[in-house]
């Protein structure tokens, strides 16, 4: 289960900045992606707003919005045409009227700050949960197992401990 908070609560001094950036990510997600990306973008923006000091306090809102979309895209294989939705990275930086290097630098800054990586269980879209093996891998008695193939009792324990998002159908 994700360790990140899905809270959109941000410190009072960051509320205007949060609104400014999420307005941009919402518009982009509505035009090119879907509601899952819009929601994750809001959650990622809120997470960055809560950092002390918040990196969002400096820099252009468009640069942060672009970096946020790209960082989430890197986690969720947004650039793979076999995954819905998908988009070329050039469409992201183009839509925000930025350069590729600016987008990639901001995305890397965000990913490094939060330890984000491809298939990161903390930042996967809900539709990627079933396809993401990292969400279902747990250590049981010293062995790494895919809990979807474990006895129901182990699945229930893992679910109640918040280690998996739901008990899979058998």
The boundaries of the domain holding residue 147 are 132-170
Tens-digit pLDDT profile for residues 110-123 = 999 999 999 998 89
SS3 at position 138:
strand
Tens-digit pLDDT profile for residues 23-70 = 999 999 999 999 999 999 999 999 999 999 999 999 999 999 999 999
Do 90 and 53 lie in a common domain?
yes
Whether residue 5 lies inside any domain: the answer is no
Q: H or E element: which one contains 151? A: none
| Residue 15 confidence (pLDDT) above 60 | yes
For residue 125, CA distances in Å to 39, 52, 80, 118 come to 9, 26, 15, 12
Whether residue 153 lies inside any domain: the answer is yes
- Alpha carbon dihedral 134, 21, 114, 92, in 10-degree steps, equals 60
Report how many domains make up the chain.
Answer: 2
Angle between helices 35-50 and 15-32 (to 10 degrees): 160
Do 139 and 114 lie in a common domain?
no
Do 112 and 136 lie in a common domain?
no
| CATH code, domain with 88 | 1.10.472
Six-digit token pair at 106? 């901001």
Q: Between vectors from CA 90 to CA 108 and to CA 41, what angle results, nearest 5°?
A: 50
Do 151 and 106 lie in a common domain?
no
Do 71 and 147 lie in a common domain?
no
Do 93 and 140 lie in a common domain?
no
* Residue whose structure tokens are 């997600």: 29
Q: Is the peptide bond before 53 cis (omega within 30 degrees of 0)?
A: yes
pLDDT of residue 3: 57
Whether residue 126 lies inside any domain: the answer is no
pLDDT of residue 26: 98
Whether residue 26 lies inside any domain: the answer is yes
- Asked if residues 86 and 80 have their Cβ atoms less than 8 Å apart, the reply is yes
pTM of the model: 0.86
Tens-digit pLDDT profile for residues 129-150 = 888 888 899 988 899 999 999 9
Do 100 and 16 lie in a common domain?
yes
Do 99 and 147 lie in a common domain?
no
Do 27 and 110 lie in a common domain?
yes
Do 100 and 152 lie in a common domain?
no
């Amino acid at each position: 289960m994700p360790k990140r908070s899905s809270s959109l609560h941000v410190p009072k001094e960051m509320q205007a900045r949060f609104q400014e950036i999420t307005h941009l990510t919402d518009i982009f997600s509505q035009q090119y992606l879907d509601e899952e990306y819009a929601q994750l973008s809001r959650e990622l923006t809120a997470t960055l707003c809560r950092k002390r000091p918040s990196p969002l306090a400096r820099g252009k809102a468009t640069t942060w919005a672009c970096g946020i979309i790209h960082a989430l895209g890197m986690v969720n294989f947004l650039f793979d045409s076999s995954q819905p939705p998908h988009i070329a990275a050039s469409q992201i930086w183009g839509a925000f009227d930025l350069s590729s290097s600016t987008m990639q630098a901001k995305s890397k800054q965000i990913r490094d700050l939060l330890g984000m990586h491809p298939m990161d269980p903390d930042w996967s879209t809900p539709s990627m949960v079933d396809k993401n093996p990292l969400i279902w891998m747990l250590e049981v008695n010293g062995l790494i197992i895919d809990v979807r193939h474990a006895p129901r009792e182990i699945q229930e324990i893992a679910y109640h401990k918040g280690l998996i998002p739901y008990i899979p159908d058998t």
